Structure 1
Amino acid sequence: MSNDQDKGKAKDLKGSAKETLGKATGDKDTERSGKADQAEGKAQQALGKAKDAVSGKK
């Protein structure tokens, strides 16, 4: 697993926590920020997977 995948997974998890917190407190800004962090994390994970595929890593 590449560094991009690790960072992306961490960002995805952080976003999930923020989204949950936002829902629990009724804070729509925190909820939206969490969703954005999750999307960014998923994109970074995909980038890492693509880099691994090109370099032949698994």
Structure 2
Amino acid sequence: MNRKRDINDWLLWLMVFRIFMDWYGWKSLLLCLVGAVVLYGATRIIDERMRGKE
């Protein structure tokens, strides 16, 4: 059951990726990925600092 859900998730992401690439180009995709990494890093740093205060 779990494996089928994982495969369906990957297929969904591939379809979203395909639609995104049809509408936009590689530069916007790269910009979105960089933005996602920056946001992930920021939330991790904030979480670490909040744990330190407790």
Given the two structures, how large is their TM-score scaled by the length of structure 2?
0.58
Please name the residue that 2:41 is paired with.
43
In terms of fraction of residues, the more helix-rich structure is 2
What stretches of structure 1 of length at least 5 have no aligned partner?
1-19
Question: Which segments of structure 1 move beyond 4 Å, counting only runs of 4 or more?
Answer: none
Where does the alignment leave 5 or more consecutive residues of structure 2 unmatched? 1-16
1:4-43 to structure 2, matched below 5 A, reads 22-43=20-41
C-alpha root-mean-square deviation of aligned residues, in Å? 1.9
Letter in 2 for 1:44: A
Structure with bigger RCO (C-alpha 8 Å, 6+ apart) = 1
